[in-house]
Amino acid sequence: MEHQNKSNEWIDWSKAIPATPEIYASLTNGKQAKPMVTVNIPDGADMNDGLPSKPTEPIDVMDLAFKQFDSTKGLFTVMPGNDWLQQAAMRPVPQMLFSEFWHEGELCILFADTNTGKSILAVQIADSISRGVHIPGFKLDARAQKVVYFDFELFDKQFEARYSRNYTQHYAFSPNMHRAEINPDADIPARYPTFEEYLSYSLEKTVTDTGARILVIDNLTYLRSETERAADAMPLMKELKALKLRYNLSILALAHTPKRDGTKAMNRNDLQGSKALINFCDSSFCIGESNCDKSMRYLKQIKARNTEVVYDSNNVCLCRIEKPHNFLQFTHTGYGKEHEHLKDAKERSREAVEEMVRRLAEENPDWSYRDIAVEAGISKTTVGRILKGDDE
């Protein structure tokens, strides 16, 4: 079926599918190109996914699309609230990818300190989605689909060590699971002024070539060498968000935390470059290390848009890092309160005193225990206990 718009250009509506947001994409181009509607449907997807089986009111898709076309005001699209609701009703309901922590269509940030298991959990989530099988203790509503894991942390032998038994009996990943790492022999074409620009192009090319709609980026620091300042983090987040909207992606991006006080609960300020990164992402969660058991970790929601925050300080998910056979993983063990896993303030104070004593002794090798005690404001006996303990 064809329809003539106000620009006297003809649109083929036979390919328009109400369940996808691409139906409107061509209408915003005006006279730049003939607005022929094309739709990207993932392999194996039901073209009616997300549509109500018995809508309460019939929706005129073509009429609604042209309403949006006529409502474009420069940077803005302005429509009545009811029209926005009708448009949203034609799109699929976002499915859970990793319980309430991450949903389809979201740019989600997972952050934690070094050596807490970010990459371990991220690979486990990617493997779960690629198979369409939930991680025990967590929910997965989405169907099995292709995933690309951009690994900027491990080289292939390190990856093999984690997913094998002493480099033999390798774990069998799903064919949907793809891993990408930087090719050290690749030359940067002259038309790309910087490495970051060529990296961005390569990310997008991987998306278009593989057809994947789930991306895991490990980690954000590699995409931009400076993410701690808001001015450096903002362009990166805008770029990822644009890529997400352009290809209808779900992105899980890993990030580090600066050195933090282990006596305090984790919050959005613990994310490196926190303000810009948190403001631009759709959801975020973090991994904390338990002070009670060094193999124990807890997961806590920091930001959510498609759901309420379920896993807050009073209800963190408890996990243990284990390798039962040939797959390093987080094993869900229950729930708890975050304060139960934080460092005691007295313990933290003691650690600070010990660190100061060692620093004074190192910087002033000729000082006696008494000299160090006077400078640190503690007894000579305490200084002796700390330094003698280091020598034993």
Listed by start position, the domains of the chain span 2-89, 96-341, 345-391
Express each pLDDT in 208-228 by its tens digit. Answer: 999 999 999 998 877 765 555
For the segment 385-392, the average pLDDT, to the nearest whole number, is: 71
Q: Output the furthest CA–CA distance in the chain (Å, rounded).
A: 92
Q: Which residues pair with 330 in a beta bridge?
A: 321
Supply the pLDDT for residue 20: 42
DSSP 35: -
Instruction: Indicate whether 148 pLDDT > 90.
Output: yes
Supply the pLDDT for residue 319: 97
Confidence of residue 61 (pLDDT cuts 50, 70, 90): low
Instruction: Indicate whether 348 pLDDT > 80.
Output: no
Supply the pLDDT for residue 19: 39
* Percent of the chain's residues with pLDDT above 70: 76
Show Cβ contacts of residue 173 under 8 Å, excluding neighbours closer than 6 positions.
127, 130, 163
Instruction: Indicate whether 143 pLDDT > 70.
Output: yes
Supply the pLDDT for residue 219: 86
For the segment 263-290, the average pLDDT, to the nearest whole number, is: 86
Instruction: Indicate whether 52 pLDDT > 90.
Output: no
Q: Decide if 218 contacts 119 (C-beta within 8 A).
A: yes
For residues 124 and 65, what is the distance between their CA atoms, to the nearest angstrom? 40
Residue labelled with tokens 């490990």: 218
Q: How does 80-98 read in b/e, with b if 16+ C-beta sit within 10 Å?
A: eeeeeebbebbbbebbbbb
Supply the pLDDT for residue 2: 42
For the segment 279-291, the average pLDDT, to the nearest whole number, is: 93
What CATH architecture is 96-341? 3-Layer(aba) Sandwich (3.40)
* pTM reported for the whole predicted model: 0.72
Supply the pLDDT for residue 59: 54
For residues 80 and 76, what is the distance between their CA atoms, to the nearest angstrom? 13
Supply the pLDDT for residue 388: 82
Confidence of residue 264 (pLDDT cuts 50, 70, 90): confident
Supply the pLDDT for residue 274: 59
Q: What is the mean pLDDT of the chain?
A: 81
For the segment 311-340, the average pLDDT, to the nearest whole number, is: 95
